[in-house]
Structure 1
Amino acid sequence: MPKKRFSSQYSKPRSTVHPSLSSSASASNHNDAPPSVNELISSSRKSSAPAPSSSSTTIITPTLPPQLRQLLSQPETPAPRARDYRRRFDANGRRLPAGPAPPRSWLAGSRWAPSSLKKKSDERLLPADVGHLPGLLGDGGGRRLDGLCMRAMAQNWEFMREYERNNLADLPTRLRILLLSNIAVHGPEDGIGFEGLKHILMFPTAEDGASPDTSVESLNEGFYRLDLSGSVGRSVSFKQLAELLQKPEQPAEDPEAEISWEESISKSLSPPIPHLTHLSLSHPPQSISWPKLLAFTKNIPTLTHLSLAYWPVPSLTPNAKTAVMTSNIGRDIQYGGTNYYSHSLDNDFREASLVLHRLARSLYSLEYLDLSGCADWVRALRWTSGDDGSGGSLDWSSQWPRLLTLRVHSGILLHEESEYAEVVRYISGVEEAFAMEDMLAYHAKKGARAGRQIKWVDVEKDDWSVYGSFWKGTEAADKKRRSALDGLDRTFPPWRAANIHSGDEASTRLPVINPAWDED
């Protein structure tokens, strides 16, 4: 049988200590021992807790049905207090998410951060001066007082946009045009912002809904130049820009309504900018869309001066360079019109030339076109489709007949520490400008032989003589760069196509290439 186990029981009572002795002992131990973590936490909570208020924050008011309240002659129930609901908007008019504002440390590396918190990128291209687009009256301000004031306003544009929004439209038209160019050069990295642009072009709406004394048409009657360099694609979209150039839609009229001859037209029939002739869309991000530009050009048929400096390669499907489609014939077909080797190896500028062809059809009255920094694809202006019947290339005999100036600077600034590859890129850009000049001269001669009235197109290119003092040393690297740059001073045959590559030496004389337009 299993043994029975019993727990030992002690009948002797526990020894107790006198209360006086125990209290003194505990007090001595309490004074000697440091406070525990829990005691510190509880004491801090007690010290930080708010004092209880004597009055209740929530007042409960008894209510009665409306019929009983009228019978008993009770007062009306007070309306509930309105919530403090204020929507926050950013500089572009977009509604910010609900809740408290995020910490500034979170926004330091975010693309949604305000421009005051963002770090300036060294790769960000900005216009060199306020006169990069023709049309400024005088010298564009310079060191005059109005120019210095506009520069100071552009450098503090976030403050001016917020606290002077009601006064910006009161500036004279000349100063508003100058202010836009200063913002493009000295302003924030994201540009002016659509809300800031509206503050410059339109009067603010009154709180009671009353319209201002001066209409938008009379305010912008002489506003002909719009400089949005660095803003389009960042803080101003083509859709927002079209709102300033489109006529407002009129509401449908009731045919049965009586017409009053004494009633004035309440809504304007003209766009906010009725006479725009100069527009700068230069220095956009690489994600800028050419199809959106083509759709936008229908709003500016009277444009005469346009700047597309530093735009990417013209393409209808820029994200489809490596995309292919599976066909029924058993081989993959390229989805887009341009792949990685179309320009470098195949010399195929078909898609880029097609986009420029559509642009020329929309902007028939163009007199000035700036394509600085576009040396990688400026060859598409003279690309011909050949005899395959595909078409799409520019027809210089009928398109852009009023063009007088074509600016094709390379967009590269050389310095003493420039590598040889960068010098080669600069030379290639200048050679492309030479080729463009020769092609336009050929079309001018061809039109003259046909009896058409042809205007000479002035091609503006880089002035390499400013680098005449560079690389005068005796080292091999200096001689190599100096020899390549001196090659631009030689006399070349027509169509000076660049044949210098980064790994090759600059030849003493480039090979003669007979252009296709000299065969007839």
Structure 2
Amino acid sequence: MPKKRHNNQYSKPPSVAPPSLSLSSSSRASEQNERSVNQILADLRRTAPRPTGVSQNNVAIATPTVHPSIRDILQIPEVPAPRPRRPQRRDANGRRIPPGPPPPRSWTSLSQSQPTFRDFKTDKKRQRQHWPLPGAYAPKPGSLVGEVLGRIVMDWDQQRHWNQFYFYTLPSHLRTALLGYILDFYEPGLSVADLRLVLTGPADSEFEEYDVEKPDLDLMNSDISCLDLSFSVGKSLKLKKLTEFLFPPDATIESHVQESWDTSEPVFGPTKLLPNLTQLSLAIEPGTWCAVSWKQLLTLANKLPTLTHLNLSGWPQPSLTGSIREPGSRTTVEDNNSYDWSEAIMVLKRLSKALYSLEYLDLTGCVNWAPALKAESDGEFVDWVRDWGKITMLRLRSSYALSDEHTDGNVFQFADWIDIATAVEKHIIAQRAGRGRWITVEKETLTESAKAVLEGPPPSYLSIRVH
């Protein structure tokens, strides 16, 4: 059989140009092809300007090196020396700095590690300490947001009137930060009127007078989860008024006939101003413990079952009736063991059943009644397994800072507070016994000089009160 013929559709192009292409080219192109590459480069070197030896794009032109004697004979100018390389910029640690001008001093000062606003407050007069709620937003000191909020609070008496239709339109994190600045820098303190202005806007009559549409509170405050009211409760903010503001009274319900049997019956209940509130700080200032009420706190707690973080710094001994101790009073382990904690246990048990979702509890300055957290009276005790089994952080600090000029009485007082907090921690761990979450009890720590005082002979008196 004859072999099949295959016509190759693709083939390798010839390496030599066809004669037709060379014949069709112009005479000028043929002359350029006859010139060598070296001749073309030499012509470019002669025609290129070289007063500085640098092109327009700031790229040095490569020129061939010539022997100095030949350069003198041919009168060729000397090649300019290359520019010296700029030394690399390095910081104090030897790391290379990014190119460009150095940043302004204000930028570098803000980038340094600084404590956040309201992160760790210390009253220099009384050496009292306060820890805010974890995760609460606060602008950095010296930042633009912090400066603007500070200027607003400095003129708050007029700002609350002229900008009453703008505060409630700010983002939620700026509104909570503004409330924190009012707490710290406004001398009269935060009031319910200020809370209403920032969270809900002015009164309804103001909206009607200026023909402004009322905001939708369900959407406006749905992303607020933290409310820090430290040092206002008992001073400029009453707990009863706060409860009425957060949970206004129920509206009157008119009876009506449903249009269809399939229509679900509406559920009426207390309106929540902050439906997603999970963190609340009700810390009080020293000297205002008589103005707070555990009964009102229980009323508020019954309406906040989803609360996970609570700060009760400085609160007095839990009691509904009867005499109570002042927080921070002189107390020892022996005094607490012989004290009747039945009423305090009853109040704390009701609080634990209302706030069963707590994970963080700050009782700074409440060490004198902390034994009620582990005491038992007539079979009643605080349940750390079921009611408060989710708490993983319990702060039992004294709120005092032990200065370098401490006395022996101060050191022994701090040692008693540490013993009380340690006893509470051991009780909670033993009660859970692996059935609940692990808990961390934050307590005082002693310096080396204070430990040396404890190792020495005890003083003859221990009735000195911490100042």
Please give the TM-score of this superposition, normalised by the length of structure 1. 0.55
Q: Is the 8 A contact 1:282 1:311 kept in 2?
A: yes
Relative to structure 1, the CA distance from residue 296 to residue 141 in structure 2 (aligned partners, 3 Å threshold; closer, same or farther) is same
1:394 aligns with 2:382: yes
Question: Are 2:225 and 1:224 equivalent residues in the alignment?
Answer: yes
Matched, 1:295 2:299: yes
Structure 2 vs 1, CA of residues 209 and 301 (structure 1 numbering), >3 Å: closer, same or farther? farther
| 1:174 corresponding residue in structure 2 | 173
Matches within 5 A, 1:180-259: 180-188=179-187, 190-204=188-202, 205=204, 206-208=207-209, 212-246=213-247, 249-255=250-256
Among the aligned pairs, what percent are the same residue? 32
Residue 289 of structure 2 is aligned to residue 286 of structure 1: yes
Q: Does 1:434 align with 2:422?
A: yes
- Structure 1 gap ranges (5+): 1-120, 260-264, 322-341, 472-480, 488-499, 506-520
The corresponding residue for 2:140 is: 141
Hey, what does 1:272 align to over in structure 2?
273
Pairwise CA distance, 1:419? 3.2
**Is the alpha carbon distance of 1:316 and 1:440 closer, same or farther for their aligned partners in structure 2, counting shifts above 3 Å?**
same
Task: State the Cα distance separating 1:417 from its structure 2 match.
Answer: 3.1
Instruction: State the Cα RMSD in Å.
Output: 3.6
Q: Which residue of 1 aligns with 2:78?
A: none
Are the counterparts in 1 of residues 393 and 440 from structure 2 also a CA contact under 8 Å?
yes
Checking the alignment, whether the CA contact within 8 Å between 1:245 and 1:299 is kept in structure 2 is no
Q: Deviations over 1:455-493 (max 9, x none)?
A: 10111223434xx4xx6xxxxxxxxx5533569xxxxxx
CA-to-partner distance for each residue in 1:110-141, whole Å, 9 max, x for gaps? xxxxxxxxxxx99889864xx6111324x653
Aligned-pair CA distance for 1:314:
0.9
Query: What is the DSSP-based 3-state SS (H/G/I as helix, E as strand, rest coil) of the residue aligned with 2:358?
Result: coil
What does the per-residue CA deviation read over 1:425-445, in whole Å, with 9 as the maximum and x for residues that have no partner? 22222222222222222223x
CA 160–122 in structure 1, closer or farther in 2 if over 3 Å, else same: farther
Deviation at 1:407, TM superposition (A): 0.9
Report the Cα distance in structure 2 between the residues aligned to 1:376 and 1:193, rounded to whole angstroms.
30
1:321-400 matched pairs, under 5 angstroms: 346-385=338-377, 390-400=378-388
User: Aligned ranges for residues 414-493 of structure 1 at < 5 Å?
Assistant: 414-444=402-432, 446=433, 448=434, 452=435, 454-465=436-447, 468=448, 483-484=452-453
Map of 1:31 onto structure 2: none
* Residues in 2 aligned to 1:272 and 1:235: alpha-carbon distance in whole angstroms: 20
| Rg larger for | 2
CA distance in 2, matches of 1:286, 1:501: 31
Q: Is the 8 A contact 1:225 1:277 kept in 2?
A: yes
**Counterpart Cα distance in 1 of 2:311 and 2:241:** 19
Q: Which structure exhibits the higher relative contact order, with contacts defined as CA atoms closer than 8 Å and separated by 6 or more residues?
A: 2
Q: Distance in 1 between matches of 2:134 and 2:150?
A: 18
Match of 2:14 in 1: none
Instruction: Name the stretch that deviates more: 232-241 or 374-383.
Output: 232-241
Report which stretch shifted further, 205-214 or 351-360.
Answer: 205-214
Secondary structure, in 3 states, of the residue corresponding to 1:244? Answer: helix
Asked if 2 retains the 8 angstrom alpha-carbon contact of 1:373 and 1:409, the reply is yes
> Which sections of structure 2, spanning at least 5 residues, go unmatched?
1-122, 261-265, 326-333
Partner amino acid for 2:440?
D
- Give the Cα–Cα distance (whole angstroms) in 2 for the partners of residues 501 and 351 of structure 1: 34
Aligned in 2, Cα 1:486/1:275: closer, same or farther, shift over 3 Å? Answer: farther
Q: Answer yes or no: is the 8 Å Cα contact 1:367–1:403 preserved in 2.
A: yes
Any idea what the Cα deviations from partners look like across 1:292-335, whole Å, max 9, x if unmatched? 111221111110000000101111114489xxxxxxxxxxxxxx
Equivalent-residue separation in structure 1 for 2:451 and 2:259 (angstroms): 81
Query: 1:423 Cα deviation (Å)?
Result: 2.6
Q: 1 CA distance for matches of 2:293 and 2:150?
A: 30
Structure 2 residue matching 1:279: 3-state secondary structure: strand
User: TM-score w.r.t. structure 2 length?
Assistant: 0.61
- SS of 2:246's equivalent? coil
- Count residues with an aligned counterpart: 322
Aligned counterparts, 1:91-102, within 5 A: none
The structural deviation recorded for 1:209 is: 8.5
